[in-house]
A and B are shown apart, each in its own frame.
Chain A
Amino acid sequence: MNYSMIKYTLGWLLMFMGVFFTVPLITAAIYWEPAFFSFLIMIAISVGLGLLMTLKKPKNSTLYAKEGFVIVSASWILLSLFGALAFILSGATTSFVDALFESASGFTTTGASIFGDVESLPRSVLMWRSFSHWIGGMGVLVFIMAFLPLSGGQNMHIMRAESPGPEVSKLVPRVKKTALILYVIYFMLTFIMFALLLFFDMDVFEAINTAFSTAGTGGFGFRNDSCASFTAAQQIVITVFMLLFSINFNSYYLVLRLKFKDALNSEVRAFLLIVAVAVGIITADLWINLTTEFDSVWEALRHAAFTVSSLISTTGFSTVDFNLWPALSQTMLVIVMFIGACAGSTGGGIKVSRILILFKGMSRELRTIVHPRQVKKITIDGKPVDREVTRSVNAYITTFIVVFTLSLLAISFEEKDLITNFTAVTATINNVGPGLGGVGPTSNFADFTAFSKLVFTFDMLAGRLELFPMLILFSPSTYKRT
Chain B
Amino acid sequence: MDIIIVGCGKVGEVLAAELNEEGNNITVVDEVAEKVKHIATKYDIMGVIGNGATHRVQKEAGVGSADLLIAVTGSDELNLLCCLMAKKSGKCQAIARIKNPDYAKDAAYLRDELGLAMVINPEQAAAEEITRILKFPSALKVETFSRGRVELMTFRLPENSTLVGQTLRDAMIKLKSNVLVCTVERADGAHIPKGDFTFAERDIVSIIASPRSASDFLTKINYKSEPIRNVSIIGGGSITHYLCELLGKAGIKARIIEKDVEVCNELATKFGDVSVICGDPTDEDVLREERVSASDAFVALTSIDEENILLSLFAKNQGNRKVITKINRIEYDDVISKLDLDSIIYPKHLTANTIVRYVRSNQNTLGSNMVTLYNLNRGEVEVAEFSIGENSPVTGVPLSKLCFKSDVLVGAIIRGRQMIVPRGSAIILPGDSVVTVTKNLSPRDISDILDEVL
Contacts and interface: CB of A to CB of B under 8 A. Distances in A.
A438 to B, nearest CB: 45
A173 B46 contact: yes
Contacts of B25: 172-174
Interface string A379-408: 000000010000000000000000000000
9 contacts: A152-B44, A153-B44, A156-B41, A157-B41, A170-B46, A172-B46, A173-B44, A173-B45, A174-B45
A170 B40 CA distance: 10
Interface in A152-197: 152-153, 155-157, 170, 172-176
Nearest to A170: B46
Contacts of B20: 153
A80 to B, nearest CB: 29
B33 A175 contact: no
B231 to A, nearest CB: 42
Interface string B28-57: 000001000000111111100000000000
A386 B43 contact: no
Given A156-B40, A173-B26, 20 more contacts: A152-B43, A152-B44, A153-B40, A153-B41, A153-B42, A153-B43, A153-B44, A153-B45, A155-B44, A156-B44, A173-B2, A173-B25, A173-B27, A173-B44, A174-B25, A174-B44, A174-B45, A175-B44, A176-B44, A386-B33
Name the interface size band of chain B: 10 to 19
Interface string A203-240: 00000000000000000000000000000000000000
Contacts of A156: 40-41, 44
Interface of B: 2, 20, 25-27, 33, 40-46
Nearest to A169: B46
Contacts of B42: 153
Interface SS majority for chain B: mixed
Interface in A278-310: none
A153 B13 CA distance: 13
Interface residues of A, number: 12
**10 A-B pairs closest in CB distance:** A153-B44, A153-B43, A173-B46, A173-B25, A173-B45, A170-B46, A175-B44, A174-B44, A173-B26, A156-B41
A173 B20 CA distance: 10
Nearest to A177: B25
Contacts of B33: 386
Interface string A128-168: 00000000000000000000000011011100000000000
A374 to B, nearest CB: 23
Contacts of A174: 25, 44-45
Nearest to B43: A153
Contacts of A173: 2, 25-27, 44-46
A275 to B, nearest CB: 29
Contacts of B46: 170, 172-173
B234 to A, nearest CB: 38
Nearest to B42: A153
Contacts of B44: 152-153, 155-156, 173-176
Nearest to B3: A173
A156 B25 CA distance: 15
Contacts of A175: 44
A144 B417 CA distance: 51
A193 B203 CA distance: 73
Nearest to B33: A386
A152 B42 CA distance: 8
A170 B20 CA distance: 16
A152 B41 CA distance: 10
A370 B240 CA distance: 59
Contacts of A155: 44
Contacts of B45: 153, 173-174
Nearest to A262: B60
Contacts of B26: 173
Contacts of A152: 43-44
A150 B2 CA distance: 21
A392 B434 CA distance: 55
A386 to B, nearest CB: 6
Contacts of A157: 41
A386 B47 CA distance: 14
A166 to B, nearest CB: 14
A155 B43 CA distance: 9
A386 B49 CA distance: 11
Contacts of A153: 20, 40-45
Nearest to A65: B41
- The CB with the most chain A CB atoms within 10 A, among B20, B26, B46, is that of B46
Contacts of B27: 173
Contacts of A386: 33
Contacts of A172: 25, 46
Nearest to B61: A173
Nearest to A174: B44
A176 B25 CA distance: 12
Contacts of B40: 153, 156
B152 to A, nearest CB: 31
A176 B80 CA distance: 33
Nearest to B39: A153
Interface string A455-468: 00000000000000
A235 to B, nearest CB: 41
A155 B40 CA distance: 11
B8 to A, nearest CB: 14
A156 B40 CA distance: 9
Nearest to A176: B44
